[in-house]
Structure 1
C-alpha cells in the first residue's frame, strides 16, 4: 500500500516557478517578519499574505500597483501614510489589530482605491472614536463590507447627514420646485436671533422673520418665474407648404411670483 501511494505521488503535477512574473500569490504569514520585503520584482503579484508577523512599518516600494488583495492584520503597524495610495486596484485590505491611531491619515491613504470593497480596521486605537464607522463610510463610498459586516444603506445615510451637513441642508430645503434661500451673509438664522429688551437686558427669541424683513428692506426676496408657451400656434408640418405670412405666431406668457 505504501509503494502504491508513493507511485501516485510521483505522477502528481509539480508547478515550478522559473520567473518572477510567474508569482501571483505570495504567502508570508507567521514568519516573524519585522518589515515588508521588497516585492516589486513580482510584477504579476495579485495577493499577498503578511498577517501575523511583527511588522511596524510599510514602505511604498514594497508592492506593485496591480495588487488586488493585501492581508496585513495582526501586526504592529503604526501608520500606512504614503505607503498604499498607489494601490488603486486594491479590492480587499485587512489591517485589523494593529497600532494605527490617526483615522484621518489612514482614510486619506485609502481614498484613491476606487474598487476597494472589503476593509477591516477594527482593533486599532482610532476605532474607539464613536464616529469612526460613519467617517470611513462617508469618505470611502466603494466599501461594501467594513469590519466583517455588510454596509447597510441606512448607515450610509447617517454618515452623509453627519459629514455633509451643508449638502444635506440643501437637499432638505428643496421642495415644490424651488430652493429655500439661506440667510444673507452676516446675518444669523431667525430661529437663533436674540435681542436685548428693556433696561434690565432681558433677551427674547426672535422667530418671525417677516418683521425683520420689514426693518431691512434691502434683504433679497426669492422670485419664482413661470413661462407658458401656446403650442397651438406653433408651426407644424402642415404649414410647410403654405406661405410664411400665413404661419401663426407662438405666444409665450411669463408670470413672476414674489
Structure 2
C-alpha cells in the first residue's frame, strides 16, 4: 500500500496552532505507529489495546480512532502541542502525555473512561479551561499537572480537588481528608456553613455530592455581637486543625503564647532561703 493510500485511511489531526508543520512530522508519526504494530504482532486494529509512542520526537500524531479498543497510550517525552488526535478513543483508561509542549487539552472531556492522566511538564496556563475539560471525568483517580504554568496558582491543589472530587492521587501525592474539608471551606462557603450547623444540633443533610443541590433548614440568625470585619474570613471552624491548615495556605502569621514551666519555682524552692529564683518566663511561638 502506498504512502498516499495510508494517509487517506488515517486522517491527520494537527496538534498545534496553525503553523507550517515539518514535512517529516506526519510520516514519522505514521511510521512510529506501524513499527509498534509490527513489534506487537498485531494484524487487526481491533487487537490493539496499547501503543508505546514515547521518545519518538513527534510533533504531530495521526488519528488513532481506528484503534477502538485502545486502553493504554504512552506519548510522553515528545514535542506535542495538543491532543486533537484522541477525541474518539473512548476506551482509553491510561494516558501518558507528560514532558511535551501541550498548551491546551481541548477535546479531552470525550475520554470519560480515563483512570490515569499524566500531564506534568507541559505548557498549560489556563486552569479554568483545564478544569472544564476534566471535571466530567468521574472515573479519573490519578492526575498530574505539576510543572505547568497553571500550577503557580495560589490555591492550585485545593482548586483541583474541588473540581475533581474523585481524584485520589494528585501530583504523586495522596489527597487527604483534611484537604477535602479545607477545599469545601474555601470554595464552597454555603456547604461549609451547613456542615458547621451540625455542631449546633441542626438536622441538616451534610452528605456531600457535588451534583446535588444542598438541602438545609433555616439556620437561626447569629446574635448581633457575633460580627466579623469585612476583610476577615467569616467561616466558623468546628475543628481547630482546619483553621490552622486554611490560615497556613494563606500565609497568615500565627502566634502562640505559653508559660515556660521550667522557669516557675516549685513549692520547695519558694521556701528555701538560700535558693534564688528568676522571674517566670513566657514562651512565644510564631508560625507562618
TM over 0.5: yes
Once the two structures are superposed, residues 113-156 of structure 1 have per-residue CA deviations (whole angstroms, 9 ceiling, x without a partner) of 11100100000001011200000001101111000111111111
Q: How does 1:70-109 map to 2 (within 5 A)?
A: 70-81=95-106, 83-109=107-133
Distance 1:15 1:132, change over 3 A: closer
The one of 115, 118, 122 aligned to 2:146: 122
Distance 1:49 1:15, change over 3 A: closer
Distance 1:15 1:138, change over 3 A: closer
The one of 53, 57, 67 aligned to 1:32: 57
TM-score with structure 1 setting the length: 0.63
Gaps of 5+ in 1: 1-13, 195-258
Distance 1:193 1:159, change over 3 A: closer
Q: How does 1:131-210 map to 2 (within 5 A)?
A: 131-174=155-198, 175-177=200-202, 179-181=218-220, 191=227
More strand, by proportion: 1
The one of 18, 38, 45 aligned to 2:70: 45
Report if aligned partners of 2:50, 2:72 keep a CA contact under 8 Å in 1.
yes
What secondary structure, in the 3-state scheme, does the structure 2 residue paired with 1:70 have?
Answer: strand
Once the two structures are superposed, residues 142-192 of structure 1 have per-residue CA deviations (whole angstroms, 9 ceiling, x without a partner) of 111000111111111111111111111222234224652458xxxx99726
Greater C-alpha Rg: 1
| Aligned-CA RMSD value | 2.3
Gaps of 5+ in 2: 1-38, 204-217, 231-288
Once the two structures are superposed, residues 99-120 of structure 1 have per-residue CA deviations (whole angstroms, 9 ceiling, x without a partner) of 0001111011011111100100
Paired positions, count: 176
TM-score with structure 2 setting the length: 0.57
The alpha-carbon deviation at position 91 of structure 1 amounts to: 0.2
What secondary structure, in the 3-state scheme, does the structure 1 residue paired with 2:129 have?
Answer: helix
What secondary structure, in the 3-state scheme, does the structure 1 residue paired with 2:81 have?
Answer: coil
Which one is further off, 140-149 or 55-64?
Answer: 55-64
